């Protein structure tokens, strides 16, 4: 069996921060951290190539970096792809996520990586791939590599794999049924949980309810203040210029778009559309203002009820989109709005 | 109320001259038994089979499972359904254990019907592969629903109950192998020691979502869609007051056999007086309209509070829309200060990535989960099929399909099948047998 390993400039022994712009390259055999990976995999799996890419190069030229790396892999035989461990290194973690996601989509091989829970790459990519719970720094290299490879070996041999918590990776939000071994009837599990709950002891629910992250409604803005404010329009209802130039996904979106509405009073049929796949698009395509009410807001602007409308509207698709992705996209849009001095926004759904 | 279940363990079932139980062998006079089935002129074809664990037999569409019983002193096993109204849960009832009467459609299946494999990989998906069965395979002239996905299956289900009563009655003058006694003193007349234990109510949400009568679970013959939550003695459930309906995707369904043997009730009895004070069953239901859901939750919480229940266990017969009733009930009980544990299955989709319950609330912090209705199951061909294998794909069974662009048809030409867990007969065993759980990958 064959494996290929992705690592950054530091673990590829190119250099530290000064080499973070290092362009992607592929080398035969194992370089740097890939030697540790080979040692852990043992003789049954060869790490045939090491891919090295600077974290900044990946961060600022993501599409180009991915394109080049995928072209390196074209025609190469490999059964599994590893990236990292990235520990707490944020850019490296995100890079591992980017490349694993692309490799898995293009080549259909299993991908594995490892990051510390504080690495932003975890929230961005945990639903898409197996990310092992890694240590904070390179001191955990041996342990983190062993976790990835132990699982990877069983995965490619088709052996039994345990739930995320038992294997030690971040759950992907994929829930499936398993038979308890040894068997325990539901009745016994109920009674056990009930006693613990009655006694105030800790217990483990079998169906964890995700925490709802509620934002308090902002206090009302006095009309005289609103009359001087620029208001921004945002939507998760998928309103985009006709043809969806930014290819925002119709469901489970990871992209958002920003569209200049200078001089536009009305979102017209055939000029704008919805790309949202979670509702009947007929009404929104016929008159996009029913989802993103630019026409009504322009009227308010003319009447002087609001000071103006922000130059761009921002759009993504809400259906199937994970809370983590939504929060990331919102954070990025909020930065834009803040730097433009926008202090009021209307967010519409569907 | 004191119920004595007189158990007669059935080691084998055979056909013979006289219907009788001797040395653990149940002999069935086939002609006589079929005559009982054919008392209803709507039954057009009927045959009987004996099936044992380990047999290379696949059954589909399975409509119902019933434990054969006899009410000592006479009277219907299912009051208000197979005979006059009388109090269930008090007195002596004979039960033929380790077996059931299974009702299988000869041709026509529906959304609510399921599949049982008695051996091989498929056997683990249903409790019923462990029992011996007298299998009634029959057809009816109920043409109004022959092509309907939702079937009342009335003639077949009632035939199964008559057959169960007929078999049970052969124990009339016999001495049981053993007995189980289920007794609870009236709530206000319990000893100080029992009253000092944490008290618990079991809240059951049987299937009642069809507004039209004839599909839902029945309570003493009364359609559960038309009832408000009420306090019941657990013995009533164990003794034929509740019968299964014909509506829910099959892995979520509670058969009549499930009600008669309700493991969660029996488990609470085992704790009663030792670690818990089992107050009783609050029989609720599952509704369609939000107002009905909220009203039922309000009634449940009120009854639990009035009883002074410290804790509650809530079990739902279904998934999807009924999750809203389930969660509302858990939340209402927690809000009333009753510490609550839920018991349910989930629908996380074929890829496992969907939200497990349609409605979720952080207050429902203790849930025991028994399976994913949409898990894909692939099974090899089986030597013998009772019923009609094609019905799995053709008749709109909740876990089957005619064709799928990726997966192909549910039923393949070689007799192998691919289906969702949804169509496994009472597969998720929310009544308490389940050794399945749900985990994150």
Contact B367 A207 (CB under 8 A): yes
Contact B435 A205 (CB under 8 A): no
Query: If you average pLDDT over residues A167-194, what whole number do you get?
Result: 96
Q: How confident is the model at residue A280 (pLDDT cuts 50, 70, 90)?
A: confident
Measured between CA atoms, the residue of chain B closest to residue A204 is: B366
B439 touches chain A (CB under 8 A): yes
Backbone angles phi, psi at B308, to 5 degrees: 75, 30
- Alpha helices for A128-211 (secondary structure H): 141-156, 164-167, 186-199
Contact B438 A206 (CB under 8 A): yes
Residue A150 pLDDT exceeds 70:
yes
Backbone angles phi, psi at A203, to 5 degrees: -140, 160
Q: At what angle do helices A141-156 and A33-41 cross, to 10 degrees?
A: 50
Among residues B134, B115, B205, the alpha carbon closest in space to that of B395 is found at B115
ipTM above 0.90, yes or no: yes
B324 touches chain A (CB under 8 A): no
Give helix then strand counts, H and E, for chain B. 9, 25
Contact A161 B360 (CB under 8 A): no
Segment among A64-73, A87-96, B396-405 with least mean pLDDT: B396-405
B433 touches chain A (CB under 8 A): yes
Q: Would you call B86 exposed, middle or buried from its count of C-beta atoms within 10 A (0-12, 13-18, 19+)?
A: middle
| DSSP secondary structure code for residue A55 in this structure | H
Among residues A52, A46, A117, the alpha carbon closest in space to that of A84 is found at A52
Q: B220: which residues sit within 8 A by CB, 6+ positions away?
A: B79, B80, B81, B85, B88, B241
Q: A276: which residues sit within 8 A by CB, 6+ positions away?
A: A237, A238, A250, A251, A284, A317, A318, A319, A350
pLDDT along chain B (441 residues), means of 10: 98 98 98 98 98 98 98 96 98 98 96 97 98 98 91 97 98 98 97 98 97 96 98 98 95 98 98 98 95 97 98 96 96 98 94 89 97 96 98 94 92 97 97 97 95
Give helix then strand counts, H and E, for chain A. 12, 13
Report the distance separating Cα A334 and Cα A327, nearest Å.
10
- Asked if the bond preceding B61 is cis, omega within 30° of 0, the reply is yes
pLDDT of residue A320: 67
* β-strand partners of B181: B4
Q: Are A154 and A110 in contact (CB under 8 A)?
A: no
**CB within 8 Å of chain A, chain B residues 268-287:** 268, 271, 275
Q: Residue A323's CB: how many other CB atoms inside 10 A? A: 13
CB pairs under 8 A between A and B: 138
pLDDT of residue A215: 80
The two tokens of residue A38 are 């080979």
Q: Are B156 and B37 in contact (CB under 8 A)?
A: no
Residue A251 pLDDT exceeds 90:
no
Query: If you average pLDDT over residues A104-129, what whole number do you get?
Result: 95
**CB within 8 Å of chain B, chain A residues 73-112:** none
Q: Which residue has the tokens 């007051």?
A: B241
- In chain B, which residues have their Cβ closer than 8 Å to the Cβ of A127? 353
Backbone angles phi, psi at A266, to 5 degrees: -155, 135
Q: Considering the entire predicted model, what is its pTM?
A: 0.84
Contact B441 A171 (CB under 8 A): yes
Contact B432 A210 (CB under 8 A): no
Residue A321 pLDDT exceeds 80:
no
How close are the terminal C-alpha atoms of chain B, in Å?
A: 47
Q: Which of B310, B342, B375 sits opposite A198 (nearest CB)?
A: B310
Residue A147 pLDDT exceeds 80:
yes
- In chain A, which residues have their Cβ closer than 8 Å to the Cβ of B367? 205-207
Distance from CA of B244 to the nearest CA of A (A): 20
pLDDT of residue A322: 67
Q: A181: which residues sit within 8 A by CB, 6+ positions away?
A: none
Report the distance separating Cα A41 and Cα A150, nearest Å.
8
Contact B311 A197 (CB under 8 A): yes
Q: Please state the domain extents for chain B.
A: 2-423
- In chain B, which residues have their Cβ closer than 8 Å to the Cβ of A161? 441
**CB within 8 Å of chain B, chain A residues 193-212:** 193-195, 197-198, 203, 205-207, 209-212
- In chain B, which residues have their Cβ closer than 8 Å to the Cβ of A190? 264, 267, 313, 341, 343, 368, 432
Residue A252 pLDDT exceeds 80:
no
pLDDT of residue A318: 86
Domains of chain A: 2-167 (3.40.50.2300), 223-348 (no CATH)
């Amino acid at each position: 069996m064959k494996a290929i390993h992705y690592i950054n400039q530091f673990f590829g022994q190119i250099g530290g921060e000064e080499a973070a712009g290092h362009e992607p390259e592929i080398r035969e055999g194992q370089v740097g951290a890939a030697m540790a990976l080979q040692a852990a995999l043992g003789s049954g799996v060869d790490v045939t190539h090491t891919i090295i890419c600077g974290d900044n190069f990946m961060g600022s030229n993501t599409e180009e970096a991915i394109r080049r790396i995928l072209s390196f892999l074209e025609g190469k035989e490999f059964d599994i792809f590893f990236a990292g461990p990235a520990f707490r290194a944020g850019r490296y973690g995100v890079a591992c996520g980017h490349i694993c996601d692309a490799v898995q989509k293009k080549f259909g091989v299993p991908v594995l990586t490892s990051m510390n829970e504080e690495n932003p790459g975890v929230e961005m990519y945990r639903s898409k791939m197996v990310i092992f719970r890694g240590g904070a720094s390179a001191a955990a290299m041996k342990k983190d590599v062993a976790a990835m490879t132990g699982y990877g070996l069983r995965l490619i041999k088709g052996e039994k794999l345990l739930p995320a918590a038992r294997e030690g990776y971040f759950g992907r939000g994929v829930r499936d049924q398993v038979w308890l071994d040894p068997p325990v009837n539901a009745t016994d599990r109920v009674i056990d949980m009930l006693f613990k709950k009655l006694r105030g002891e800790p217990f483990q629910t079998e169906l964890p309810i995700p925490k709802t992250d509620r934002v308090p409604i902002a206090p009302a803005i006095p009309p005289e203040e609103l009359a001087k404010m620029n208001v921004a329009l945002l939507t998760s209802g998928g309103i985009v210029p006709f043809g969806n130039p930014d290819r925002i996904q119709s469901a489970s979106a990871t992209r958002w778009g920003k569209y200049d509405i200078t001089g536009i009073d009305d979102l017209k049929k055939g000029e704008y559309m919805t790309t949202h796949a979670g509702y009947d698009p007929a009404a929104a395509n016929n008159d996009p203002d029913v989802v993103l009410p630019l026409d009504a807001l322009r009227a308010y602007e003319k009447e002087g009820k609001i000071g103006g409308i922000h130059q761009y509207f921002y759009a993504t698709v809400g259906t199937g989109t994970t809370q983590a992705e939504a929060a990331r996209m919102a954070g990025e849009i909020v930065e834009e709005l803040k730097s433009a001095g926008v202090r009021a926004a209307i967010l519409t759904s569907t | 109320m004191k119920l004595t279940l007189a158990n007669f363990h059935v080691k084998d079932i055979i056909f013979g001259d006289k219907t009788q139980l001797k040395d653990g062998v149940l002999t069935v006079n086939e002609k006589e038994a079929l005559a009982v089935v054919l008392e209803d002129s709507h039954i057009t074809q009927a045959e009987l089979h004996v099936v044992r664990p380990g047999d290379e037999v696949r059954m589909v569409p399975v409509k119902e499972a019933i434990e054969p019983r006899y009410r000592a002193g006479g009277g219907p096993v299912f009051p208000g359904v197979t005979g006059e109204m009388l109090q269930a849960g008090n007195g002596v009832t004979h039960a033929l254990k380790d077996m059931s009467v299974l009702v299988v459609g000869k041709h026509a299946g529906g959304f609510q019907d399921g599949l049982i494999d008695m051996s091989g990989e498929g056997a683990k998906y249903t409790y019923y592969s462990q029992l011996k069965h007298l299998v009634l395979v029959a057809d009816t002239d109920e043409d109004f629903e022959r092509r309907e996905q939702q079937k009342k299956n009335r003639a077949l289900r009632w035939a199964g109950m008559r057959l169960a009563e007929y078999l049970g009655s052969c124990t009339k003058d016999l001495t049981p192998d053993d007995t189980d006694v289920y007794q609870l003193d009236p709530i206000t007349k319990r000893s100080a020691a029992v009253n000092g234990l944490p008290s618990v109510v079991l809240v059951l949400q049987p299937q009642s979502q069809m507004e039209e009568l004839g599909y839902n679970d029945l309570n003493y013959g009364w359609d559960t869609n038309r009832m408000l939550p009420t306090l019941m003695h657990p013995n009533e459930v164990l003794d034929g007051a509740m019968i299964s309906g014909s509506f829910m995707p099959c892995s979520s369904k509670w058969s009549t056999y499930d009600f008669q043997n309700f493991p969660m009730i029996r488990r609470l009895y085992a704790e009663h007086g030792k670690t818990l004070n089992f107050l009783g069953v609050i029989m609720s239901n599952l509704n369609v309209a939000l107002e009905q859901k909220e009203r039922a939750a309000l009634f449940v919480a009120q009854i639990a509070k009035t009883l002074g229940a410290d804790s509650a266990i809530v079990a739902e017969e279904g998934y999807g829309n009924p999750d809203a009733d389930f969660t509302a009930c858990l939340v209402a009980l927690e809000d009333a200060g009753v510490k609550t544990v839920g018991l349910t299955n989930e629908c996380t989709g074929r890829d496992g990535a969907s939200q497990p319950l349609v409605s979720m609330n952080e207050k429902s912090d203790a849930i025991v989960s028994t399976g994913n209705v949409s898990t894909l199951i692939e099974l090899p061909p089986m030597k013998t099929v009772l019923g009609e294998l094609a019905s799995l794909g053709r008749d709109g069974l909740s876990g089957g399909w005619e064709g799928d662009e990726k997966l192909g048809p549910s039923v393949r030409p070689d007799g192998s099948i691919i289906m969702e867990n949804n169509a496994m007969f009472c597969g998720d065993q929310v009544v308490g047998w389940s050794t399945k759980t749900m985990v994150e990958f």
